[in-house]
């Protein structure tokens, strides 16, 4: 009888250990995976780099350069305009303010700017999910905006609030979130971002005002036009970052923060449906993001359970080429096909 009890106890211990043991990190990418990724880059004539592998801080870099001009070479340690990749930084900063009790996802926009139409119905969560009904109305600029206060003034003069709270991808949602970070933290957006999110992750970003042309991977477009375009993207694409630093940020400030990651994943919708929250598309077990601005493009896919991640940074693609290429890279790395959803469903 005692032997039977001990046998049952041992079986329970074994089952419990299996349930609580973390999923092992997938091994580094195989030579075949790397070769398949290289072939995708070559066939699509991509001038850029891909960063791959799992839970590591020094990713494997696969390079495919189509230009002999050293100014156009994309490198892992060279500044790159990350465009909408910045939105995750803004989303995480908002979550930090929620943790600190300075706001909640239910806080209405009218608390900060009561003059914005429908602001009492636009919550921070709706901004984080691109369901605010806000859209950008941006007239041409002939010079870069002169910093966060001028960016804020410009954005508050050029927007539309429809009152329709369905999915609509608009950069102004994250610009408004950056402005809320300024107000709630009582410091600059970039100051809060650097102190609370980026420095602890061992990396940094530079604003469009802080860099010179020679420090940045070029795309062939006019430098002044790039700075001007970036200046209209407060919180949504107004910073430069090296690909390697973005990799560090993604892992250290996001994937390695289980409580934060769980809060993001909790926002996902029905099985098989993609949702969006805080700067990332969520379709368990995958996360996805794109960035595109003035000829610069980036995309990433990540399995948040295994931490396997693939990131692309390129400077010679159109947005439609980026969308097509991202699916090919996903297949080359993860080994299965994924159909891009044309809109978010939830």
Quote the pLDDT of residue 345: 53
Q: What span, in angstroms and rounded, lies between the C-alpha atoms of 297 and 241?
A: 13
Least confident span in 70-74, 105-109, 206-210, 219-223: 219-223
Least confident span in 37-46, 58-67, 269-278: 269-278
Please classify residue 22 by burial: count the beta carbons closer than 10 Å to its beta carbon, then call 0-12 exposed, 13-18 middle and 19+ buried: exposed
Quote the pLDDT of residue 343: 64
Quote the pLDDT of residue 11: 44
Pull the structure tokens for residue 111: 């608390």
- Would you report the helix, strand and coil content of the chain in percent, each value rounded to 5? 40, 15, 40
Bridge partners of residue 63, in order along the sequence:
49
Question: To which residue do tokens 């636009």 refer?
Answer: 122
Q: Is the pLDDT of residue 300 over 80?
A: yes
As a whole number, the mean pLDDT across the chain is: 90
Q: Is the pLDDT of residue 8 over 60?
A: no
Across the range 291-309, mean pLDDT stands at: 96
Quote the pLDDT of residue 30: 86
State how far Cα 10 lies from the chain centre.
45
Distances (CA, A) of 19 to 13, 14, 23, 55, 104: 10, 9, 10, 21, 33
Least confident span in 101-105, 218-222, 283-287: 218-222
Model confidence over 91-102: pLDDT tens digits? 999 999 999 999
- Could you tell me the pLDDT band of residue 138, with boundaries at 50, 70 and 90? confident
Across the range 92-114, mean pLDDT stands at: 97
- Could you tell me the pLDDT band of residue 220, with boundaries at 50, 70 and 90? confident
Quote the pLDDT of residue 323: 92
79 close to 206: Cβ distance less than 8 angstroms:
yes
∠ CA 193-55-65, nearest 5°, is: 80
Express as a percent the part of the chain with pLDDT over 90.
80
- Determine if the pTM surpasses 0.75: yes
> Residue 163's CB: how many other CB atoms inside 10 A?
10
How does 39-67 read in b/e, with b if 16+ C-beta sit within 10 Å? Answer: ebbeebebbbbbbbbbeeeebebbebbee
Question: To which residue do tokens 């709706």 refer?
Answer: 126
Pull the structure tokens for residue 342: 């044309």
State how far Cα 234 lies from the chain centre.
14
Across the range 246-260, mean pLDDT stands at: 97
Q: Is the pLDDT of residue 246 over 60?
A: yes
- Distant-in-sequence, close-in-space partners of 196: CB < 8 Å, separation ≥ 6: 93, 96
Of 134 and 9, the structure prediction assigns the larger pLDDT to 134
Bridge partners of residue 296, in order along the sequence:
293
178 close to 90: Cβ distance less than 8 angstroms:
yes
Across the range 42-48, mean pLDDT stands at: 97
Least confident span in 18-27, 46-55, 308-317: 18-27
Crossing angle of helices 148-157 and 172-185, rounded to 10°: 130
Three-state secondary-structure class, residue 319: helix
Question: To which residue do tokens 């002169």 refer?
Answer: 146
Quote the pLDDT of residue 341: 65
Q: What span, in angstroms and rounded, lies between the C-alpha atoms of 246 and 291?
A: 13
What DSSP string runs through 247-284? Answer: HHHIIIIIIT-HHHHHHHHTT--STT--EEETTEEEET
90 close to 253: Cβ distance less than 8 angstroms:
no
Q: Is the pLDDT of residue 301 over 50?
A: yes
């Amino acid at each position: 009888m005692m032997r039977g009890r001990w046998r049952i106890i041992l079986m329970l211990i074994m089952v419990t250990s299996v349930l609580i043991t973390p999923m092992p990190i997938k091994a580094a990418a195989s030579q075949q995976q790397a070769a398949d990724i290289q072939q995708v880059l070559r066939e699509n004539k991509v001038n850029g780099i891909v960063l791959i592998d799992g839970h590591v801080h020094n990713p494997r870099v696969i390079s495919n350069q189509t230009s002999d001009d050293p100014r156009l070479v994309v490198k892992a340690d060279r500044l790159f305009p990350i465009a909408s990749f910045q939105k995750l930084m803004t989303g995480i900063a908002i979550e930090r303010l929620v943790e600190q009790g300075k706001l909640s996802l239910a806080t209405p926009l009218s608390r900060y700017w009561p003059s914005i139409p429908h602001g009492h119905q636009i919550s921070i969560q709706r901004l984080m999910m691109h369901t605010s009904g806000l859209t950008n109305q941006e007239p041409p600029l002939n010079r870069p905006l002169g910093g966060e206060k001028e960016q804020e003034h410009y954005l508050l003069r050029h927007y539309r609030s429809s009152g329709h709270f369905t999915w609509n991808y608009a950069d102004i949602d994250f610009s408004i979130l950056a402005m809320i970070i300024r107000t709630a933290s009582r410091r600059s957006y970039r100051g809060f971002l650097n102190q609370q999110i980026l420095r602890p992750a061992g990396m940094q970003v530079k604003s469009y005002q802080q860099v010179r042309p020679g420090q940045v991977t070029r795309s062939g477009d006019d430098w002044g036009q790039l700075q001007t375009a970036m200046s209209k993207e407060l919180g949504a694409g107004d910073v430069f970052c090296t690909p390697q630093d973005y990799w560090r940020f993604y892992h250290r400030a996001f994937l390695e923060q289980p409580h934060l990651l769980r809060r993001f994943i909790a926002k996902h919708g029905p099985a098989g449906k993609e949702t969006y929250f805080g700067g990332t598309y969520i379709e368990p077990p995958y996360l996805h993001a794109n960035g595109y601005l003035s000829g610069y493009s980036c995309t990433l896919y990540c399995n948040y359970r295994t931490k396997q991640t693939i990131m692309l940074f390129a400077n010679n693609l159109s947005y439609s080429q980026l969308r097509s290429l991202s699916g090919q890279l996903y297949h080359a790395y993860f080994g299965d096909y994924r159909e891009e959803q044309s809109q978010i469903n939830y």
